[in-house]
Amino acid sequence: MNIDIDPYAVLGVHVDATSDEIKKAYRQAARRLHPDLNKHNPGAVAQFQDITVAYELLIDPAQRSQYDAKARLLYPEDRLVFMLRTIANKRTVALLDEPQIIFLLSEIIPDPRAEMQQNGDARLNLTLVLDCSKSMKDTRMDKVKIAAHQIIDQLKPGDILSVVSFNDTADVVIPATTMMTTDKASLKARISMIHPFGSTEIFQGLSAGIAQNRTFMAPRLVNHVILITDGRTYGDEQRCIELAREVGKEGITISAMGLGEDWNDQFLDNMTAITGGRTEYISSPGTVVRFLNEYVRNLSNVFAERLQLSVAPDPDIRLESAFKLAPSPQPLSIDGPTIPLGNLQGHRSVSVLLQLEIPAKLTLGFRSLARIVAVGDILANKNTKCMGLNDISFEVMDNPPMEETPPNILEALGKLSLYRLQERAQEALERGDIREATQRLEFLSTRLLELGEPELAQQARREAQRVAMTNQLSEKGRKDLKYQTRSLLLEASMETKS
Amino acid sequence: MKICPSCSHKNREGSLFCEECGQNLLSNINAAVKTKQIDLDSDAVSFSSWGSAKFDLDTVVVLHIRDSQEPLRISPNNRVILGRYDGGNAPKPDLDLTPHGALEKGVSRIHAAIYRTDDTLTLIDMGSSNGTLLNGHRLVRDQPRVLRDGDEIRLGKLVAHIYFKQNSDNP
């Protein structure tokens, strides 16, 4: 019996539902989610498996009563939960001969009790993977060491730490150890001994770090690997991605911090996103200390881990893109059956903006749009699994009334369009289309100026000039534009929150 | 279909921001562009130096090149390429600036072009080595800018002023 899912919630029926009601709910959902109709839609295929498991369980009276007895223990009344709430930018669409776009904003909201109960309570299984290649010499290495020292200071008894340094080989500086209050000085001393030389081979460090993390990995821990690097790795990127895919399934999150301008942001973005982690750009070594400290402090406020969103649009509707707005803005990959979202903190929601295409020539009336499911592990619960489900529908009308777009969706989309401009400028440049690249950067500059971001606008303009003269962006300018247009989205989500 | 008022890109229905240029498609473009109110008595009115951008059928361009005696007259048809001809394999530009010291002043063989569209003229940098400036602003390669009567253009170190003259003015 699969106890990972709540069969009543999956089918959207009450615990007292009759078997006729269960049959009806299953048939309705299966019609929409059937794999034959959803070859392009991995989210639906995954959800179809879930409803089938749930149906087979509930339709058999013996299995159902066995489950009900168990469920009282599995899901006590006072267990903590998270909520999933999805709103669309409109409830009605016009009947048209052309395809249209609709936006959904899904928010995963922590239990309001979590904030009081949890104050840095989550137990960490933390691994630091530190680049100690020659380029890290002096300031960068020193700052990273200071940051690591401060992390050791803030870890609680019971947290688990391991530290790996790497260049072209990996070296386990601190094997995975449970923290005690007494031995912190000797751990710090070991970090101080790290000496930078050699080149950067990320796979070496990453696989050694993951091996350390795995020794203590557990569902009720925050299993997190932080990679800090300042360079490009050559030839082993694919292996890193495969490794990330593997550990993402196991429940380890990888985050990365890139120092300076020379690291490969696309690679690190991809690799961390697979595991639900994120990549940060740290332009000056001075900020790494504060940044890492804050990052680790946030980890200990984690309320739920391994959050996943599964989006199953109706067979004729297509999911076009997904973007995480908060707490850390980043593009999400929609190729897999579920979208990894990382962790949920006790005091901040996770929100995701989805863009869907509705086909031309609909029929009038109400209809369903998509089914969205969020699952995750709530660390404080005995049975950690928690799930939220939203069924979204809309109405097709001849003359739909004017609807006000929800301001948070509008604001997020406005800022997302800036990020997309930057992205498309970059794509044009990769194709060698200088004209399009400069044009996009100029548009970006104009919009940034309108938005009251004169400095970033200037930078976009300078990069447009640079592209025109030299056919390429500066590494710094490219990263600044990418990560700063991203952080504009963060401001957007903060504003709507307050 | 939603046509962007800023760049006329065709966006799908339901789009809220232009996919091409990021323009907010909900806002009225005319409302978004704020007209600056200027006091009629202030100096700002008489101080305006930029001339008309209107360039109709009877208009010709007079190009005054600094340190050159004779102004050049051009009646742009579709496109006039400004550059320097050195007798090599490169194609001859429509307006060869060699007699005006183009080589010493760093004008490229194919430096810039003046395009005529309806009733305006635009200047475009064709990927010159030393760049094209319009009223002191460097042009981004391949991005057209509207030319006005009285503009100063700079090709490398070669400075020229553009004037619009009616064909009938000076037969």
Domain extent listing, chain A: 1-75, 81-117+305-403, 124-299, 407-497
Taking CB atoms and an 8 Å cutoff, what residues of chain B touch A407? none
CA-wise closest residue to A247 among A279, A302, A206, A205 = A206
The two structure tokens encoding residue A328: 């850390």
CB contact under 8 A, A100 and B13: yes
Backbone angles phi, psi at B118, to 5 degrees: 45, -110
Question: Cβ-count burial of A12 within 10 angstroms (0-12 exposed, 13-18 middle, 19+ buried)?
Answer: middle
How many angstroms separate the CA of residue A85 from the nearest CA in chain B? 22
Contact A199, A133 (CB under 8 A): yes
Asked if the Cβ–Cβ distance from A358 to B18 is below 8 Å, we say no
Task: Answer whether A418 sits within 8 Å of B138, measured CB to CB.
Answer: no
User: What are the chain B neighbours of A438 within 8 Å (beta carbons)?
Assistant: 140-143
Distance CA A136, CA A334 (A): 35
Q: Chain B contact for A206, CB < 8 A?
A: no
Question: How close, in Å, is residue B127 to chain A by CA atoms?
Answer: 8
* A376-418 per-position pLDDT tens digit: 988 888 788 888 889 899 999 888 888 888 888 988 898 899 9
Closest-CA residue in chain A for B138? A465
A419 or A137, greater pLDDT: A419
- Residue of chain B whose Cα is closest to the Cα of A360: B13
Q: Collect all residues of chain B within an 8 Å Cβ-Cβ radius of residue A434.
A: 141-142
Both structure tokens of A176? 């995975």
Model confidence band, residue B27 (pLDDT cutoffs 50, 70, 90):
low
Name the least confident of A246-250, B115-119, B127-131: B115-119
- Chain A residue at shortest CA distance from B21: A443
Contact A465 B13 (CB under 8 A): no
- Chain B touched by A468 (CB under 8 Å): yes
User: What would the mean pLDDT of A293-297 be, rounded to a whole number?
Assistant: 87
Q: Domains in chain B and their CATH numbers?
A: 59-166 (2.60.200.20)
What pTM, to 2 d.p., does this model score? 0.75
pLDDT at A239: 94
Q: Is the pLDDT of residue A135 over 80?
A: yes
Q: Quote the pLDDT of residue A359.
A: 92
Query: For the residues A332-337, what does the mean pLDDT come to?
Result: 87
pLDDT digit string (tens) for A424-443?
999 998 888 888 888 889 88
Q: Are B43 and A129 in contact (CB under 8 A)?
A: no
pLDDT at B107 over 70: yes
> Which residues of B make CB contacts under 8 Å with A?
1, 7, 12-24, 26, 125, 131, 138, 140-143
- Residue B128 phi, psi (nearest 5): -70, 160
Measure CA of the first residue to CA of the last residue in chain B; give whole Å: 51
Q: What is the pLDDT of residue A35?
A: 85
Q: A404 CB near a chain B CB, below 8 Å?
A: no
Sort out which chain A residues have CB atoms less than 8 A from B138's CB and list them: 465
Instruction: Quote the pLDDT of residue A241.
Output: 94
Percent of chain A past pLDDT 70, that is, above it, reads: 96
Looking at residues A54-72, what average pLDDT do you find?
Answer: 86
- Residue range A333-362: average pLDDT? 90
Gap from B170 CA to chain A (nearest CA, Å): 39
Residues of A in contact with B17 (CB under 8 A): 413-414, 416-417
**CB–CB of A442 and B18 under 8 A?**
no
Which residues in chain A have their CB less than 8 angstroms from residue B137's CB? none
Residues of B in contact with A89 (CB under 8 A): 16
Mean pLDDT of A121-126: 88
The superfamily CATH assigns to domain A1-75 is: DnaJ domain (1.10.287.110)
Q: Is pLDDT of A219 > 80?
A: yes
CB contact under 8 A, A98 and B1: yes
Q: Give the minimum alpha-carbon distance from A448 to chain B in angstroms, rounded to a whole number.
A: 10
B171 CA: distance to closest CA in chain A (Å): 40
Residue A120 has pLDDT above 90, yes or no: no
Q: Which residues contact A131 (CB under 8 A, 6 or more apart)?
A: A165, A166, A167, A200, A202, A205, A227, A228, A229, A230, A231
Give the pLDDT confidence of A98-110 residue by residue, as tens digits.
999 999 999 999 9
Residues A44 and A312: beta-carbon distance below 8 Å:
yes
The answer on pLDDT for B101 being more than 90 is no
Phi-psi map region of A253: left, alpha, beta (phi>0 left; psi -120 to 50 alpha): beta
The answer to whether the CB atoms of A447 and B22 lie below 8 A apart is yes
Domains A1-75 and A124-299 share a fold: no
- Mean of pLDDT values over A457-468: 88
- Give the C-alpha separation, A228 to A272, whole Å: 12
State whether B14 and A100 contact (CB < 8 Å).
yes
Question: What integer best gives the mean pLDDT of chain A?
Answer: 87
Q: Of A93, A358, A405, which has the smallest distance from its Cβ to B16's Cβ?
A: A405
Contacts with A411 from chain B: Cβ below 8 Å: none
- pLDDT at site A311: 93
Residue B40 has a pLDDT of 44
Q: Nearest-CA residue of chain A relative to B33?
A: A450
Q: Tell me whether A443 touches chain B (CB under 8 Å).
A: yes
CATH no., domain A81-117+305-403? 2.60.40.3670
Which pLDDT score, from 0 to 100, does residue B68 have?
A: 80
**Average pLDDT score over residue span A127-149:** 90
- Cβ contact (<8 Å) for B142 and A94? no
Q: What's the confidence (pLDDT) of residue A472?
A: 82
| Residues 6+ away with beta carbon under 8 Å from A81 | A111, A378, A386, A388
pLDDT at B38: 45
Contact list in A for residue B4 (CB cut-off 8 A) is none
Residues of B in contact with A94 (CB under 8 A): 13
| Class of residue A148 by CB neighbours under 10 A (exposed 0-12, middle 13-18, buried 19+) | buried
Question: For residues A382 and A340, is the Cβ–Cβ distance under 8 A?
Answer: no
pLDDT value of position A213? 95
CB contact under 8 A, A468 and B140: yes
Q: Which CATH architecture has domain A124-299?
A: 3-Layer(aba) Sandwich (3.40)
Contact A70, A3 (CB under 8 A): yes
